[in-house]
Amino acid sequence: MSSIDMSIEYVDRIYKYMKNGASVEDFMKKFHINYKELNGLLELCRVYGKNVEAVVKNNVLVFEKTFARNIITAKPGITMDELIHTEILVVSDTHFGNIHQQLHLLNKVYEEAYNRGITLVLHVGDVVDGNYLNRPEQPRQQFLHGFDEQVGYVVDMYPYVEGVTTKYILGSHDETHYKNGQATVNQWLSRCRPDMEYLGQDFASINVNGVKIFMDHPGGGSAQSVSYKAQKRIEIIESNYKPKILLIGHYHKSYSFVYRNIRGIEVPCFCGKTQFQQKQGLTNAVGAYFLNIWSDSKGNIQYFEPEEILFKENDFWDEAGKDRNKVKQLKIVA
C-alpha cells in the first residue's frame, strides 16, 4: 500500500480487521503496510473516534481497542477490572424463504462472532418469512413456500458454530404458520438444532451475566421515523419491571438510544427491501449489532458499547437468486 486512503468508509472497513488482541504483524502482512503507514492508520482511526492502539502483550504486538466512546454511564471510582464484560451478537428478521433474504451476510456476522470468541447470539424474531393468507402477492416474493420448506431450510442452513448458542424468539411472520395450522417453528428447531434455543413467541426476558435483557418483536405497521415506535415500546414497560437493555425486532431499522434509563436497540434485518416495504415507503436496514456490556455485580450497566454493523446495497445478493443458489451453510467446528 503506497498511500493510505483517508476516507471514513475505508477506515470503517479496515477497523473491523483490527480485532482486539489480534496480531499487528499479521494485519500488516494482509494489507501490505509498513510501520510508518500503520501509525498513520492508527492516527486516522483516532481522528474518526475509533480508539485503537498497538500494544505489546506477552511479547507480541497486538491491537487493543479502548472503549472510551459511547460510554453511557460510569460511576466515578469504578474501574473496568471490577466489572463483568460480556460481548454478544444480536440479529433479527432473517425472513428465510423470502427472495430478498441475505443468508451470506448472516454468515459473515456469525463468522465475525466466532473470531471475537462470542458464545451467545440473540435473534429477535421473524426467523422465516411465513405465510400470510391475506397477502396473495406473498408467494411470488418467496422461493420457499409453506411450513415444511421454510423450517426445513432453517434446520439445514442456519449458521452453525460450535460453542455458539443462538437464543431466539419468534415473530409475526413465524406466527403465521401457527395461525394457519398450529405449526410451531420452535418444535422442529428444538428437535433438529440443539444449538438454537427457543425463548418465546413475540417476547422474552433473559438474564445474561446478571444483566436483564428484554427481546421484543412487536406486531403492526412500522413508522417513517426510526425512533418513534421504539420509544413507544419503552413507554409501555412498567417502571418496576424495567430491563437494562431492550432489543426490538420487526421494524427492520437500525437505531440505538437511551430512554427511561433503558438502552434500546432497534435491530436491523437480514432481508433486502420487500415489495411491501417499497409500497409503504418504508426504509430497510440490513445488519446487526455487537454489544459490549460492562456490568457490576448487581447487573447494572456501567459501560455500554453498541457496535452497529450495517451492510450497503452493493453487499446484497438479490439478482438471479444468487443468495439462495450459491450460499452454503456456515459450519465452523473446532
Contact 255, 274 (CB under 8 A): no
Least CB distance to Fe ion at residue 165 (A) = 22
Return the residues of window 90-149 that contact Fe ion according to CB under 5 A. Answer: 93, 126
Q: Which is nearer to Fe ion, 74 or 282 (CB)?
A: 282
Contact 289, 256 (CB under 8 A): yes
Q: Which is nearer to Fe ion, 54 or 91 (CB)?
A: 91
Least CB distance to Fe ion at residue 91 (A) = 12
Least CB distance to Fe ion at residue 34 (A) = 47
Secondary structure (DSSP) of 75-137? -TT--GGGSEEEEEEEE----BTBTTB-HHHHHHHHHHHHHTT--EEEE-S--B----TT-TT
Residue in this structure with the C-alpha cell 428465510, named with its chain if needed: 96
Residue 42 grid coordinates:
492508527
Contact 18, 28 (CB under 8 A): no
Instruction: Tell me the H-state helices in 204-334.
Output: 228-235, 275-280, 322-326
What are φ and ψ of residue 304, in 5° steps?
-145, 125
Q: Which is nearer to Fe ion, 114 or 270 (CB)?
A: 270
Least CB distance to Fe ion at residue 94 (A) = 9
Number of helices (H), then strands (E), belonging to the chain: the values are 10, 15
How many binding residues for Fe ion (CB under 5 A)? 5
Q: Is 171 in the site for Fe ion (CB under 5 A)?
A: yes
Give the range of 54-62, 169-177, 204-212, 323-331 binding Fe ion by CB under 5 A: 169-177
**x-marked contacts with Fe ion along 233-272 as a string, rule CB under 5 A:** -----------------x----------------------
Cβ neighbours around 236 below 10 Å, total: 8
Q: State which of residues 86, 172, 201, 302 lies at the interface with Fe ion (CB under 5 A).
A: 172
Least CB distance to Fe ion at residue 72 (A) = 28
Q: Which is nearer to Fe ion, 95 or 167 (CB)?
A: 95
Chain residues binding Fe ion by CB under 5 A are: 93, 126, 171-172, 250
